[in-house]
Structure 1
Amino acid sequence: MTLPQGFKRIMLNLARSKEYPEGSARHGYEILAPLDAEGHLDVEAWKAHRDACRVKRFWAGEKTEIGHLVHRPGGRGGSTWIFDYDSAALDDDEAGYRLGAHVFAPGEYVSVRDEDGDMHTFKVVSVDAAA
């Protein structure tokens, strides 16, 4: 599948925390999403190519989850980006904290609230052109 220009493969690794003082490359997300020229999630490109916007959650000791990056109305700032692993289930979503406002560039940080309601911070370790 050939993706439109602007689609990036974004790798997030768990940032330093009390449980992981050095962070962890074994916990994180790989996101396939369109970014605008400033490195923000591109809502218009997402609307045009929703099925191509994917997320893979990898967490040491757990099954890898594959899902979609979804933009929903509501939440802080008027909308929320979520990771949806099963469109039929209401309880598997993970919400990004103000993901629409963040720049996705190596060295930046983003936060995600997991399905249990726990907030985790992740470091953007790479942003590459999607093949």
Structure 2
Amino acid sequence: MSAQAAFHHVRLELAREPDHPAGDSGFGYDLVIPLDSDQKLDKAACRTQAEHCRVRRFRNDATEAVGRLAQSDDGRWFFDFEPGEADDEFGFRLDDERFVPGEYISIRAADGDLHTFRVMTSSPVDLGGA
């Protein structure tokens, strides 16, 4: 992990879209990811401490799936919930995004639909000396 990176808990909630004109605070993701001083994904830390890069998808405020943040062979970042590729959800240019409240992040669901989520919170996480 770079000297400037620190793990953060980032909460994403569904932003406005045609089927949800007010968004949906009950659908989203909780991420535990390393961010650099610009609040962007610290790619080196993701690779060296992959076991700590966690994802929880929730719907109706209940946990729907738990997995990890991973990088594909072609360099794209995705949420990996189960072995195999059928349930993988890819982030759109995740390594270019800033994970600060108010920013928007796009995720392509396993069914191929692209959804936009709003960063609601981002706060440092203590991994307990990990």
TM-score, normalised to structure 1's length?
0.88
- How far apart are residue 89 of structure 1 and its match? 1.9
Q: CA RMSD in A?
A: 1.5
Confirm whether residue 80 of structure 1 aligns to residue 76 of structure 2: yes
1:11-52 Cα deviation digits (max 9, x unpaired): 000001111111111000000000010011001111111011
Look up the equivalent residue of 1:34 and give its one-letter code.
P
Look up the equivalent residue of 2:22 and give its one-letter code.
E
> C-alpha separation between the residues in 2 aligned to 1:73 and 1:102?
20
Structure 2 unaligned residues grouped into runs of 5+: none
Residues 43/61 of structure 1: CA separation in 2 closer, same or farther (3 Å cut): closer
- How far apart are residue 62 of structure 1 and its match? 7.4
Displaced runs of 4 or more, over 4 A: none
Q: CA contact under 8 A between 2:91 and 2:107: conserved in structure 1?
A: yes
TM-score, normalised to structure 2's length?
0.89
Q: Secondary structure at the match of 1:73?
A: coil
Structure 1 unaligned residues grouped into runs of 5+: none
Confirm whether residue 112 of structure 1 aligns to residue 107 of structure 2: yes
> C-alpha separation between the residues in 2 aligned to 1:90 and 1:128?
30
Count of equivalent residues: 122
- How far apart are residue 60 of structure 1 and its match? 2.7
